[in-house]
Amino acid sequence: MRLVEAGREAEVSPDLVPGALAHDGVVLIRQGSVAEVRALLDRWTAPADHPHQVADGLTVIAPRLRTDEDDNEAGFTDLALSPHTDRSLHAQPPSVLATLMLTPAKAGGSATLVDGARVLALVRQCAGDTEIAGLRLRTATGRPGPAVIEIGVGHARIRYRDDRVAGPYSTDGRTDLVVTFRRLIAETAQTLRLGAGDGYLVHNHRFLHGRTAFTGDRSLVRFLARVNSDHPYTGLNRGFSIASS
């Protein structure tokens, strides 16, 4: 298995992956296997459970439903998935997410990645942190959810989804800010074609991920995890580093 920096193709040593995620938010996987990715994560993280998992922190994502009635199951269709944070409505979303392609789609199915740190930097050019704090998620049933962007001292954490389960709104009535946030996500999104054995690791508090619609029997494995509390990069569990306002 090869681990490389996104956009630069420079190889990353397995020991340096946590630091690369803290700095860049993403590391690409080339020619990997499920066992190799699991072994890499087991060195410095603990699995984070998910209702659809087939093993600790591990879920197989493949089409098995033909319905649009429940967007919480949309991952198991051939539909497009908008960029999102995994477990965005959960009290403590996992900080590390990894995917590994098993069977590429016949057509479509490209991965979509959005650097939330870049989006936040752009949003801060047109809104103050107090206004940004007013962005929240609200479920389709009207239940208020967590803040879309939590800004702390020197760090931030993003929780985002925009589908039939939940979407962003402003508690301050700043609909223009919601529109801007959506626009910036769309404008900064990058697509990535994954072959068999390819994938990525991302800081789930920073990078949003999704996919384009596809045809064929696309399947991949997703890993969710949190950094061990005694690891030097346990700060990834709190969010990603940002400059002060």
| CATH for 37 | 3.60.130.10
What domain count does the chain have? 1
CB 110 within 8 A of CB 192: yes
H-helix or E-strand spanning residue 75: none
pLDDT of 15: 97
Query: What type of residue is 176?
Result: D
Tell me, yes or no, if the pTM score tops 0.85: yes
CA dihedral angle for residue 37, residue 43, residue 46, residue 50, rounded to 10 degrees: 0
* pLDDT: which is higher, 170 or 243: 170
Kindly tell me if the per-residue pLDDT of 244 is higher than 90.
no
**Domain residues for 115?**
2-233
Region at 173 (left for phi over 0; alpha for psi -120 to 50; beta for the rest): left
- Is 240 inside any structural domain? no
- Is 241 inside any structural domain? no
Region at 149 (left for phi over 0; alpha for psi -120 to 50; beta for the rest): beta
pLDDT of 70: 55
pLDDT of 186: 97
- Is 245 inside any structural domain? no
Residue 128: Cβ-neighbour burial (10 angstroms; 0-12, 13-18, 19+): exposed
- Is 149 inside any structural domain? yes
The CA-based angle 47-2-189, given to 5 degrees, is: 75
- Is 153 inside any structural domain? yes
